[in-house]
Amino acid sequence: MLEIDSLTKQFFGLTAVDHVSTRIEQGQITAIIGPNGAGKTTFFNLIAGTHAPTSGRIVFKGQDVTGMRPDRVARLGVARTFQTTNLFDNATVLDNLIVGHRLRTHSSLWDVLINSARLREEERLCRAKAMEALDFVGLAHVANRIAADITQEERKRVAFALALATEPELLLLDEPAGGVNPEETVGLAELIQKLVRHGKTVCLIEHKMDMIMQLADKIVVLNNGEKIAEGTADQIRRDPHVIEAYLGADHAAV
């Protein structure tokens, strides 16, 4: 689904991502792991178009998207979540989600000023999509709660819903379980599996190893911007480079 070829990003001489090539397969969960500062988030920023790569190529469903603007990439069907999601705290959760489907609509300023039938239809659609996404992540009951009043875990789920409302094929999740407790992490892992069951492709960055090991079909390990290993959970567990560079001595026995 997504082919990445020799992707490199340099910031003023610092190489954040260094000739990384990999593939994200349709219908699978690919995890990007690596120590802090390994270049994981930069890697996401390159795929999503937030930064243009210094060199290399990104091909999404056969189309070259290298250096494409983020809003265009989103339109093509790549959604992402961030480590923290800024919501408008004074509005309801549902209100916050409605904008998610805007990119699939066509109403212009003129439609807005005359309140055209097309606009009303598209607003109804966006509201329905938002509700559907909220239902999917299991938060239908907080639809009318104001965003300031929801828990950290609910916020994570709202971020998923927001990404889902864009009707993506590929979801890039940046630390989807960061800052939530172990039981909630299990719930979020189940949600990620549910996404895949519904035909989505997932690529995630995560530090919680237990979660990654049981969830990921493929793990890509980055260290200092370079890909040092790639494979299934079992392969990664046994990989000497990974043990040395990332998991540390106490994991060597596993």
Binding site for another protein (CB under 8 A): 48-50, 69-71, 74-75, 79-80, 82, 85-88, 90-92, 94-95, 98-100, 102-103, 105, 107, 109, 111-113, 115, 119, 122-123, 126, 131, 140-141, 143-146, 148-149, 162-163, 166
The residue to which tokens 């994570």 are assigned: 156
Q: Bridge partners of 218?
A: 30
User: What single letter denotes the amino acid at residue 171?
Assistant: L
Strands (E), the chain: 2-11, 14-24, 29-33, 55-60, 63-64, 78-81, 170-174, 201-205, 218-223, 226-231
The residue to which tokens 């093509």 are assigned: 76
Would you say 51 or 218 has its CB closer to another protein?
Answer: 51
Would you say 10 or 107 has its CB closer to another protein?
Answer: 107
In a 3-state reduction of DSSP, which class is residue 170? Answer: strand
104 within 8 A of 165, measured Cβ to Cβ = no
Backbone φ and ψ of 187, nearest 5°: -60, -40
Would you say 26 or 83 has its CB closer to another protein?
Answer: 83
Give the nearest distance from C-beta 82 to another protein in angstroms: 6
Would you say 174 or 230 has its CB closer to another protein?
Answer: 174
Give the nearest distance from C-beta 202 to another protein in angstroms: 15
User: What single letter denotes the amino acid at residue 64?
Assistant: D
Would you say 23 or 75 has its CB closer to another protein?
Answer: 75
Give the nearest distance from C-beta 107 to another protein in angstroms: 6
Give the nearest distance from C-beta 128 to another protein in angstroms: 11
